Chains A and B, each alone.
Chain A
Amino acid sequence: MGLYRHDFNKESDKALKDENLQKALRFTTDRFRERRKTAIAEVDNWEDLRSIAREIKKETISRLDTYLELLEENIVKNGGIVHWAKDADEATKIILEIALNGKVKSVVKSKSMATEEIELNHALNNAGIEAIETDLGEYIIQLAGETPSHIIAPAIHKTKEDISKLFSEKLKIPYYTEPEDLTRIARDKLRQKFLMADMGVSGANFAVAETGTIVIVENEGNARLTTTLPRIHVALMGLEKVIPRFEDLALFLSILARSATGQKMSSYVSLISGPKRKSEKDGPEEFHLVLLDNGRSNILASDETRESLYCIRCGACLNICPVYRKVGGHSYGWVYSGPIGAIISPQLLGFDKAPDLPFASSLCGACKDVCPLKIDIPKVLLELRNRVIEENRKMNRVGVRTFESLGIKLWRLSMQSPRVYMALITLAYYVQKLWNRGNGHNITLLPPPFSQWAKNRDLPVFAKKPFRKRWDEIKDEQVWE
């Protein structure tokens, strides 16, 4: 599925050493944080909006079958076609079939994480169909042959100079450095593609069950062109994105833009309910909605992690996460990064593909604070950690975890006996004297795995007289005054 066994330390190592990336990450996350804060301060009932949004999502997910059936019914009424894809392979097969039936030679795409999840471009290319990304950030990384490093701004890891060089090499044009020029070049190149394309593939931020409407939120206008110019429009959407009523959009649109980019409203919101009417002069003749499962229905089945599906992909958690700020999106190994990536990638891909992600967090909880749907990401991380451990236990796998498991067991057993505890800390005092090369106040060398601590940090020495012993001496002292 495009992700070999992910090693977080290995991937993040590159990121930590990349000075330009570090600058970009700090700059970008600071900017998004500021903007989000300002936008939210303008809303005097922000906490209410979060609560209601969560209630609506909870209600929807708890009856997802009903809402999906209603959505399908209404899309069909509007003249659209609904496809159900159990997994990535099936989704790509469905879209390829639509393309082949429509004699499609070229496809324009607007930003869709779901299409990256299923690696659609790869499949289209293999079938001899040209697939062009039209969102500027996605176009840039497509030219560079890379994956997105942020949910909202996929190319933030690239400097102006990187992009200038990329355009000049790949598009065989002179070297321009200003964003205005680079944008104009992209606009002209992509305009040609838009006009020629037979099919447009988009994502969908929401789908309204009540009216059979999909909703696309964007700033550039490429999604509007993608869903208007070509004669076939295919929208691929995770099945958890459905919302019940048309009027619920007022709430969700308000919280999405503010949380994502700090805008009151993004430049364009398209509410699309089926293909064009016969008498309309523009718009697609065919409209297809492909509902993607790919593991989402399994997440649904788990009470403890079901709220992972409430996500509206705003990226606020990425921008506030201390870990993401240092390692960037590529370190997470897949299309979904940051705190939300850490909880859904393991659930969609399986723990054997993404075993590190649930642990690659300091559990600081900042993500929970900013999530517009109040998803308790730390809680889900803890649950996933437990599952990884339980799974290992059951499978009797031998590896690093075996030592850890043994260590925890020994530790726990010691903690069950105050005498063993005392013996251990007394022992530690004497052992450290042998081990300690430090100055008497600090330990500078430790045995593995704690050697990882001592690489960059000292540790205070174990006291000669532990608190418990001191307590015995002071416990009968008088209370002052």
Chain B
Amino acid sequence: MVEVLRRIGVDLDFLGDQTCCGQPAFNSGYHSDAKILAKRFLSLFDRDDYIVCPSGSCTSMVKIFYKELFKNNPEMHEIIERVSLRTHEFSDFIVNVLKMKDVGAYYAGKVTYHDSCHLLRELKIKDEPRKLINSVKGIDFIEMNNSDSCCGFGGTFSIKFPDVSVSILDEKLENIINTGAEAVVSADMGCLMQIGGALKRRKIPIETMHLAELLASDRG
């Protein structure tokens, strides 16, 4: 992501003290633990710059769920509002803030794209990644069937209900393989771990790439 953003002229900083937005705790029902980490995140990131994040789930935690987490703490509402407004998911940032589509990427190959659930349904980001993918030089982009169906990750769901998770994953893999693509692109690490984890285990020669990796590519 750093490579891509720098290539298009963005001046970046990375806060070395950052750890986690707290979503895993929130999703597992440990709301008080989540609040502690959320407060830490908010105070760390309460500054004037844009905040760009290569993950739909983390971004939606900040922009959507922090409000819910702190609904009974009105004293937090102002800082949440401030930080949320400046936080953007990676593709959203490039397309909607920088108003760019072509970031100088080159990948001569067939790829397909998986819509991550939080990115799609909470942040309503559907076209932006597609615009970016389509602008990659040499790309052959093919949509899979049911690209918007869940991959089965769901955070701790994947280890609490592993068989169900993999069963859902099986269908997603079927859809990916049917496109004939050599790589599947997504904008969320959770999805990529889930999909990539099975592809590797089953020795299926399809690569998994984060959208940023694709956009950083300069290979033919």
Contact = CB atoms under 8 A, between A and B. Distances in A.
Contacts of A326: 164, 167-168
Nearest to B11: A479
Interface stretch (B18-26, B132-140, B176-184): B18-26
Interface in B1-47: 2, 6-7, 9-11, 13-14, 16-20, 22, 24-31, 33, 36-37, 40
Contacts of B26: 382
B131 interface: no
B189 to A, nearest CB: 9
Contacts of B33: 408-409, 412
B109 interface: no
A362 B121 CA distance: 13
A322 B150 contact: yes
Nearest to B120: A365
A468 B9 contact: no
Interface string B138-178: 00000000001110111111111111111111000000000
A364 interface: yes
A366 B20 CA distance: 26
Contacts of A323: 164, 168
Given A480-B7, A481-B9, A416 B37 contact: yes
Interface in B47-65: none
Contacts of B31: 386, 389
B157 A362 contact: yes
A366 to B, nearest CB: 7
B121 A459 contact: no
A405 B167 CA distance: 27
Interface of A is mostly: helix
Contacts of A379: 68
Interface in A88-112: none
Contacts of A8: 161
Nearest to B17: A418
Contacts of B40: 415-416
B122 interface: yes
Nearest to B157: A362
B205 interface: no
Nearest to A321: B150
A322 B149 contact: yes
A365 B122 contact: yes
Nearest to A320: B149
B201 A418 contact: no
Contacts of A366: 117, 121, 148-150
Contacts of B9: 479-481
A43 B204 CA distance: 43
A369 B197 contact: no
B19 A405 contact: no
A455 B121 CA distance: 30
Interface string A449-481: 110110111111000000110011011010111
A452 B13 CA distance: 37
A368 B19 contact: no
A412 B33 CA distance: 7
B159 A364 contact: no
Given A365-B121, A416-B19, A480-B9, A452 B162 contact: yes
B77 interface: no
A471 B121 contact: no
Contacts of B14: 467-468, 471, 475
A237 B167 CA distance: 37
Contacts of A471: 2, 14, 16
B95 interface: no
Contact of B29 (A388, A418, A442, A481): A388
B152 A322 contact: yes
A408 B150 contact: no
A365 B37 contact: no
Nearest to A404: B28
A458 B200 CA distance: 6
Contacts of A441: 200
B194 interface: yes
A16 B164 contact: yes
B76 interface: no
Nearest to A444: B201
B121 A368 contact: yes
A359 B160 contact: yes
A377 to B, nearest CB: 12
B196 interface: yes
Contacts of B196: 458, 460
Given A453-B162, A479-B6, A479-B10, A363 B28 contact: no
Contact of B164 (A327, A369, A416): A327
27 contacts: A12-B161, A359-B160, A360-B164, A362-B153, A362-B154, A362-B158, A363-B155, A363-B157, A364-B154, A365-B122, A366-B121, A408-B28, A408-B30, A412-B25, A414-B19, A416-B40, A417-B19, A418-B16, A418-B17, A421-B19, A450-B159, A455-B166, A457-B166, A457-B169, A457-B201, A458-B197, A459-B193
Closest 10 CB pairs of A and B: A362-B154, A457-B197, A385-B29, A364-B150, A365-B121, A389-B29, A364-B117, A452-B162, A458-B200, A452-B159
Given A326-B168, A479-B10, 16 more contacts: A9-B163, A16-B164, A359-B156, A363-B117, A366-B149, A366-B150, A369-B121, A385-B29, A389-B31, A408-B33, A415-B20, A444-B201, A452-B158, A453-B197, A455-B166, A457-B197
